[in-house]
Structure 1
Amino acid sequence: MATLLHIDSSVFPGEASSSRSVAAAFREAWEEQHPEGTVVYRDLATDPVPHITADAWSAGNAAPSARTPEQSAAFAARVELVEELERADAVLIGAPMYNYSIPSTLKAWLDNVILLGRTTGETPSAQGKPVVVVASRGGSYAPGTPREGYEFVQNYLEAVLEGSLGLDLEFIVPELTMAPRNPAMSELVPLYEASRERAFGDATAKAKELAERLAA
């Protein structure tokens, strides 16, 4: 049975969040393909993981017998997150853009699962695992747009998820999500609606495509 690790990080609940809504469409299509599968869900906004500490970081470089009780406890929390990643057959991440970057809660999760000598290094333990990221944003940061140089979500996640963890990364990018709420962006509403429709279509298509790949 296939296991999907689903991570949301938007501070907005339900349909108020574009990343959550599109990720939910992906998950629904995934569950239709894997009715007997498992979804491991983490909502980092309502139940954030600990930010990395000196004990959690240094424990990764210390022999188990040499760790202090504080290091052992902090490292055990990291290992729980690492094992969720390693056990999953696929990963789904909702990553809205906040102030040109990812939410701090998602950065905290990444800091915990990036473990040199295990998930990153010469032979990353989750290497090749497919990950789909819903990278929503209020404006447009696509190539050729005025704010192209402020795009630090996809660039960063490519470096970390693909470069460090060795995952097989794909993006779904709903953009211009502020257009319906910001009068100054009213003329962009049709582009927002087209982007939203495309994102939902991509979510369903990618979920089905991934299910076929894993079943092959």
Structure 2
Amino acid sequence: MSLFRLDASILPGTSSSAELADLVEAEWTAAHPGAPVTRRHLGTNPLPSDAWPLAHTGNLTPEPERTPAQREAMALAGTLVAELEAAEAVLLAVPLYNFGVSQHFKAWVDLIIAGAPVGSPVLKDKPTILTTVRGGGYAPGTPREGWDHSTPYLRRILADVWQGDLVIVERELTLAGVSPAMAHLKDLADDLHAKALDAAREAGRQLAAK
């Protein structure tokens, strides 16, 4: 059994998405001691910003005419695909940034798509856990309902396009403890935090059992 873990927080020392992913991984590791874990951290080691267009245009260029930069980007894309394909379980920790998906995570997705055969379901039936967090509140009935443009995209890519066996662990109001404007939401935030921790442990146990 092998696990691929990807983190995307730009604040790894205080990452709420990593906190949840750590609990998932701990449950998985307890059930599979000594099993390999492949890690990639896009927040501390981002992919080159020009890699996707180079890989994409390289795919459209006859092999003898590809530039060295295109070949390098295509090789990187192939490496990223191989990391997913080699894993038997996948864990992704991806926070919401500015109401959407961060550019460094989007670059990873685009490179996976460029490196795999067209339309390839690279996670087909593979157990996949996504831990995602949001600083504010976007639940139905809140003033910013519908402003979360990250989670629906992640679900579309991971479950619908890549066909992973997806479980999502979510947490909202992560900024309630540090933002004065959200101080009145701290009790609710604490409750959501506790529920997210429990959900992460349960997701880890389910992942370990698959």
Do both share a fold (TM > 0.5)? yes
CA spacing shift, 1:115–1:168, aligned 2, 3 Å: farther
| Residue aligned with 1:146, SS | coil
Q: Name the CA distance, whole Å, in 1 between partners of 2:34 and 2:115.
A: 34
| 1:79 matched residue in structure 2 | 78
Q: 1:189 aligns with which of 186, 191, 194?
A: 186
Residue of 202, 211, 214 corresponding to 2:199: 202
Q: How many residues align?
A: 209
The match for 2:30 is 32
1:68-88 deviation line (CA, Å, top 9, x unaligned)? 333221100110001001111
How far off is 1:65 after superposition?
4.9
TM-fit CA distance, 1:99 = 0.7
Residue number in structure 2 paired with 1:160: 157
Q: 1:208 to 1:138 in 2, by over 3 A?
A: same
Q: Which amino acid aligns with 2:135?
A: G
Distance 1:43 1:141, change over 3 A: same
Match of 1:43 in 2: 41
The structural deviation recorded for 1:32 is: 0.7
**CA distance 1:63–1:210, change in 2 (3 Å):** farther
What is the RMSD of the two structures over their aligned residues, measured on CA atoms? Answer: 1.8
> What SS does the corresponding residue of 1:114 show, helix, strand or coil?
helix
Query: Gaps (5+ residues) in structure 1?
Result: none
Name the residue aligned to 2:98: 99
Query: Which runs of 5 or more residues in structure 2 are unaligned?
Result: none
Q: CA deviation at 1:163?
A: 2.2
Identity %: 36
Give the aligned partner of residue 10 of structure 1: 9
* 1:125/1:157 CA distance change after superposition, 3 Å: closer
Query: Deviations along 1:159-184, whole A, 9 cap, x unmatched?
Result: 21122212222211111011011122
Matched residues in 2 for 1:99 and 1:43: separation? 20
Residue type of the alignment partner of 1:133: L
**Residue deviations 1:66-119 (CA, integer Å, cap 9, x gap):** 53333221100110001001111111111111110122111111111113762x
Local SS of the residue matching 1:192: helix
Aligned mate of 1:127, from 93, 117, 124: 124
1:54 positional shift: 3.1
Is 2:176 the partner of 1:179?
yes
Counterparts of 1:141 and 1:95, CA distance in 2: 16
Residues 64 and 126 of structure 1, relative CA distance in 2, 3 Å threshold = farther
- In 1: Cα distance, 2:122 partner to 2:149 partner: 26
TM-score (norm 2): 0.92
CA 1:116 to 1:165, structure 2 compared with 1: closer, same or farther past 3 Å? farther
Partner SS for 2:125: coil
Equivalent in the alignment of 2:57: 58
